[in-house]
Structure 1
């Protein structure tokens, strides 16, 4: 965990450049080392699960720089709104732990500052850096990547299938109550979990630019590929493949009870599957529409407050200390998500085939859009899916109406 003096020296220019960007003026005469020597604490907002994993790296940082790190646990159901409201008042933290899909809202509110990762960026998965990037600037240091996959009860279905139709046929042949399980909200569906099936029809939400970023002016949800997916949703609902009354808790309960050979879920439910003694495999999600099934990828990371009064030290902490293999492995062990740092992922994958499987599947995924316009998408998108699964309405009309409503909301 030790940061060499050479690394600190090489990062001095990085810190100075960050200071210029943060202050909007010329840097002060003090060097990063002089700034850090002031001993002003760094405050980090973190969830209760990851707080213990950060204690050792925080202690190492304090030992080497003399700067305390105050790890403050927050309720992560509301922390993003607290961050947006408190940073402008000077009451927010220096650093926040957050999923990347909040980044667009943070940038729009002016509460986060770009960070220069330099050569550190090359040590992370490309998807993770892409998720931390907005309008060409990198705003955070990633630490985990997560996505869904298809968990299969190998006692019920011994072999993986390459198409969704074949998987459903195998699920029916298993003779269980449900051929396939995925948790859906009875109030708003679940576009997140169903997205890999949607992308297998070639249907996406927003068009992507050449660099992988999303173009908020091009909502492509309602195109002909989306209508094909809408047709499939209605069919799957009629055939009992998708059930709007099975929420996430029930889906897990039924799978653990052996009532289905398939469960579309993420790594967060694997510990309970292991504890239940189920023999399982983690498969790529089979294609339903003929193209690759590409799940959303969620990236968690550390973001720097735009109003941090100790930005140089905070940047040092997140760039040079939280990017180490030890730090990333500690966070992995606390949360069970594949590490974003390549060396840490390789180490975790060698120890745990589940991490290797989820990580491999995530390589074919796409970062969840972090643009603020996504806030206008979820409700109509989910309601359209829910209506179709329930057998309500003409698929083309339901789907294109939802897309038109979203376009109107984005336009304001």
Structure 2
């Protein structure tokens, strides 16, 4: 079945729509003739700024509190926030990714968020991702994950296992109908642990174990053992067979899939519009298994956090919960950014788009990317080791074991 792509609405139209519906959120507007009685400063990236502009105006009209939007590069927000909050120069609110949370808590720069009864209005995985050691710190607005993008004209049926996918891809290559059996974008030095993680998880090698509360336990590194070593062995096999190629970047993989040269592309919703524009008859499938377990992708959640040093913490909480947390704004953020809403009602509405529904179904079986501070020391060794194994730079099991020891040592040192 062909799954059609959703067009992304223009930011200006989205913001206007949000403002229109937000009128229903209005309380009694402020009446201070001399101007706002308070200020909230929000660090936001350019993609979100257009939507929040009208939300900020509405909040000032309702609460007589000015919301100043400061546009920053998303990649700079976390570290700048950690640096500036202790000095008193930081913002009241930031937009950010859920896997920053452990680091933010560790540095004492983020405040708990009082969601109250509204917590149940959001997808469970979103609240789980925005919580740390049993406390919720963020207001989620989007959820995203990868899945298998399949060229239906080349592969009419969804593969249940990775071996089945590769067999189909190899047969298409032998028949001269495809150039690649399978595509996933990798880096020559860092591979891509994020994209390859579902295949690893299926073999029984998650990154961390869980504690009694079901949250990640950084003291329990579970990358090693039989599952991790089995995955290392598979990486070597796939590298030798050309299934995984570190010279095929994400951009190259996208171009080649959109040129009809492969039946499969392991990717996220951000690459679906280009496939549709290229005329690919595509479907979005669950990620095929490589072992006895489900191939669970990481789920990434984005949201907003309140500074631990905010002088207007109550107003910040109100702005997030009762304005950013509304269906109108969550929908507007989805339409301008393409990421599925975290608010359940907005997500259910967005599921009228079959692409969103398909990715959401895959993500429902996923797990939040670890948000513990220890995750910071995992990525580098993890990625470089994967690349070394794929490129046959040593015994795969020995390389994997050395990686686990290195990561454990760094975690132990704090």
Could you state the TM-score of these two structures normalised by the residue count of structure 2? 0.90
Equivalent residues in 2 for 1:246-395 (5 A)? 246-350=248-352, 352-395=353-396
Could you tell me whether the CA contact under 8 Å between 2:36 and 2:60 is conserved in 1?
no
Q: In structure 1, what is the equivalent of residue 170 of structure 2?
A: 172
Q: In structure 2, what is the equivalent of residue 410 of structure 1?
A: 411
Match of 1:160 among 155, 158, 161: 158
Could you tell me whether the CA contact under 8 Å between 2:145 and 2:300 is conserved in 1?
yes
Q: Distance in 2 between matches of 1:366 and 1:109?
A: 25
Q: CA deviation at 1:135?
A: 1.3
Q: Deviations over 1:322-350 (max 9, x none)?
A: 11100100000011111100000000011
1:112 and 2:120 correspond = no
Q: Distance in 2 between matches of 1:411 and 1:222?
A: 16
Could you tell me whether the CA contact under 8 Å between 2:183 and 2:264 is conserved in 1?
yes
Q: Distance in 2 between matches of 1:267 and 1:209?
A: 31
Q: In structure 1, what is the equivalent of residue 401 of structure 2?
A: 400
Q: Distance in 2 between matches of 1:274 and 1:306?
A: 44
Q: Distance in 1 between matches of 2:307 and 2:271?
A: 32
Q: Distance in 1 between matches of 2:238 and 2:133?
A: 38
Q: Distance in 2 between matches of 1:173 and 1:342?
A: 42
Paired residues in the alignment total: 384
Q: Which moved more, 1:128-137 or 1:60-69?
A: 60-69
Q: In structure 1, what is the equivalent of residue 201 of structure 2?
A: 199
Equivalent residues in 2 for 1:16-31 (5 A)? none
Q: In structure 2, what is the equivalent of residue 140 of structure 1?
A: 138
Q: Distance in 2 between matches of 1:93 and 1:68?
A: 13
Could you tell me whether the CA contact under 8 Å between 1:54 and 1:330 is conserved in 2?
no
Q: CA deviation at 1:210?
A: 3.6
SS of 2:213 mapped into structure 1: coil
Could you tell me whether the CA contact under 8 Å between 1:171 and 1:178 is conserved in 2?
yes
Q: Distance in 1 between matches of 2:287 and 2:122?
A: 25
Q: CA deviation at 1:212?
A: 2.6
Q: Which moved more, 1:188-197 or 1:249-258?
A: 249-258
- Computed over aligned residues only, the root mean square deviation of the Cα atoms, in angstroms, reads 1.7
Q: CA deviation at 1:211?
A: 2.9
Q: Distance in 2 between matches of 1:361 and 1:45?
A: 31
Q: Deviations over 1:336-377 (max 9, x none)?
A: 111100000000011x10001111111111101111101111
Which segments of 5 or more consecutive residues in structure 2 lack a partner in the other structure? Answer: 1-21
